[in-house]
Amino acid sequence: MRSFHYLTVKKSFLALAASIVFLSSCIKNDNNSITTTTDLKSENGKLATDWVVLSLTLTKEAPGYTSPVAARTFAYLSLGMYELLVPGMPEYSSMQGKLNGFNRGTMPNTKQVGEISWNLSLNEGMYKLYKYFYRNSSPASLSLIDKLHQNNLDVYSKGLTTDVISNSLTYGKGHAEALIKYAETDGQAEAFLNNYPDSYKTPNGQGLWVPLNNQIKKPLQPYWGNVRTFLSYSIQETDMIAPPEYSNDKTSVMYAYAVDVRNKVENLTKEEEVMVRFWNDEQEHSITPAGHMMSVLAQVLKEEGKDLGFCAYAFMKLGITLHDATVMAWKTKYKYNTVRPESYIKSNIDNEFIALVNATPTPEYSSSPSAIASAAVEVLGNLFGYSYAFTDRTYEYRKDIDGSPRSFKSFQHMSKEVSDASLFGGIHYRFSLEAGEKQGISVGKNINSLR
């Protein structure tokens, strides 16, 4: 009898414990309020990567989509993608309450949504977001958004009831509208219309940067360092030490760094020239440095066959990282207003020197491509492993450069090549690359700590 009683009590305890675990999971996960046609983990990530790839095409053509503007857009698009899907991802949580200005309750309540299709909802949400962020695009570009939206609508509506389709579209649209309202609170909703503000006056003085190579002859987004970041950073993380003091003395540190740049440019191999042009992402009508990193991620996600939820999570982590790294680099640029190598070399070393590629109309220090690439390394390494080998096919379609696919032993290998390209191209000193790398690593590690 004692044995039977013990077993009965034990079974009752186990049943109670199981009930508590079940109830706890229900309380912890509000996602049970949403009924879906399929489990999100069973959905292929193609829909997410297709929309991101389209954003690269649109960015090249959209008027005013300079590097900082593009990085901001990639961040909000990918955050919108993630927040729309996270209610179906029990192992993940919303970024509400974790990002600056992104307070709890910013996104719609998911209760009583009704049955939805994740694919249809995401497609509708992305459509609304893209039509908003790329509203300044040409009719041809806007038609690409319409086409992708309609094709996906046709594919993912098959076999669904009218109610499910209606619920899905309503859910996607509601999340997109909420994300847009949040994005507008950073004050940069029309940044693409004012890349070169007349209100900014370039400082004058020996060794200070002035725009020379661009046609507009004005500084690019001189106030961008004040734009809201998604995370908050300490002074130590954002405020790099001052670059070497300007001097034209042949024994000075500044002179030595400039000679280093001149020697690299003057002695490039054919392969190094190809590398420089491959990573020359800051020019007009380019996908931008941030876009290139998004392209790399999209390729890796396709290669790995990741599910829709993981793709959204990965794009979100990288997107907000690229934006914050850009802001940090811009803050440093306009604090020190360091002269570009080409100007210094022409004035003090070789008046016939010409950089291989044109620098953006911003001060030199620190290097934004290095900051962006290094930040991306931290996030990509955290997602796939720091020794992950891959091939970048971003530019294999291009005819104006040798866009042959480039293979890398790791993400760090890629980041080093990005920095080398800026040095070999004649647009950055080595000390600026090191500062940018430090900034990027700091941003990436902060983003990786998000849970």
Tokens of 220: 């690019």
Is 172:123 a contact under the CB 8 Å cutoff? Answer: yes
271: exposed, middle or buried (Cβ count in 10 Å: 0-12, 13-18, 19+): exposed
Distance between CA atoms of 292 and 437, rounded to whole angstroms?
Answer: 17
Categorize the per-residue pLDDT at 234 as very low, low, confident or very high, splitting at 50, 70 and 90.
confident
| Mean pLDDT along residues 113-127 | 96
Categorize the per-residue pLDDT at 213 as very low, low, confident or very high, splitting at 50, 70 and 90.
low
Distance between CA atoms of 349 and 37, rounded to whole angstroms?
Answer: 68
Which phi and psi (to 5°) does residue 398 adopt?
-75, 145
The reported pLDDT for the residue numbered 214 is 65
Structural domain boundaries in the chain: 30-184, 203-209+234-448
The reported pLDDT for the residue numbered 280 is 97
The reported pLDDT for the residue numbered 421 is 98
> Residue 22 above 50 pLDDT?
no
Q: Which CATH class is domain 30-184?
A: mainly alpha
Per-residue pLDDT reduced to its tens digit, 261-296: 999 999 999 999 999 999 999 988 899 999 999 999
Is 313:297 a contact under the CB 8 Å cutoff? Answer: no
- Average predicted confidence (pLDDT) for the chain: 91
The least confident of 202-211, 244-253, 337-346 is 202-211
Distance between CA atoms of 76 and 117, rounded to whole angstroms?
Answer: 22
| Mean pLDDT along residues 334-341 | 96
**What percent of the chain has a predicted confidence (pLDDT) above 70?**
91
Sequential DSSP letters for 367-428: -HHHHHHHHHHHHHHHHH-TT--EEE-TTTT-TTTT---EEESSHHHHHHHHHHHHHHTTS-
Give the residue from 36, 123, 46, 48 showing the smallest Cα distance to 88: 36
The reported pLDDT for the residue numbered 34 is 84
The least confident of 49-63, 150-164, 238-252 is 238-252
63: exposed, middle or buried (Cβ count in 10 Å: 0-12, 13-18, 19+): exposed
Categorize the per-residue pLDDT at 33 as very low, low, confident or very high, splitting at 50, 70 and 90.
low
Distance between CA atoms of 261 and 279, rounded to whole angstroms?
Answer: 17
Q: For the beta carbon of residue 2, count every other beta carbon within 10 angstroms.
A: 6
**Tokens 């300079």 — which residue?**
66
Fold match between 30-184 and 203-209+234-448?
A: yes
Fold of 203-209+234-448: Vanadium-containing Chloroperoxidase; domain 2 (1.10.606)
The model carries a pTM of: 0.92
Classify each residue of 16-28 as buried b or exposed e, where b means 16 or more C-beta atoms within 10 Å of its C-beta. Answer: eeeeeeeeeeeee
| Mean pLDDT along residues 29-43 | 73
Is 282:289 a contact under the CB 8 Å cutoff? Answer: yes
Strands (DSSP E) along 28-149, which ranges?
A: 34-36, 114-116
| Mean pLDDT along residues 201-225 | 88
The reported pLDDT for the residue numbered 215 is 66
| Sequence letter at residue 12 | S
Is 169:123 a contact under the CB 8 Å cutoff? Answer: no
Categorize the per-residue pLDDT at 451 as very low, low, confident or very high, splitting at 50, 70 and 90.
confident
Distance between CA atoms of 139 and 301, rounded to whole angstroms?
Answer: 30
| Mean pLDDT along residues 331-360 | 96
The least confident of 134-143, 196-205, 370-379 is 196-205
Taking phi over 0 as left and psi of -120 to 50 as alpha, with beta for the rest, 385 belongs to: left
Give the residue from 252, 224, 248, 213 showing the smallest Cα distance to 66: 224
The reported pLDDT for the residue numbered 35 is 87
Is 40:88 a contact under the CB 8 Å cutoff? Answer: yes
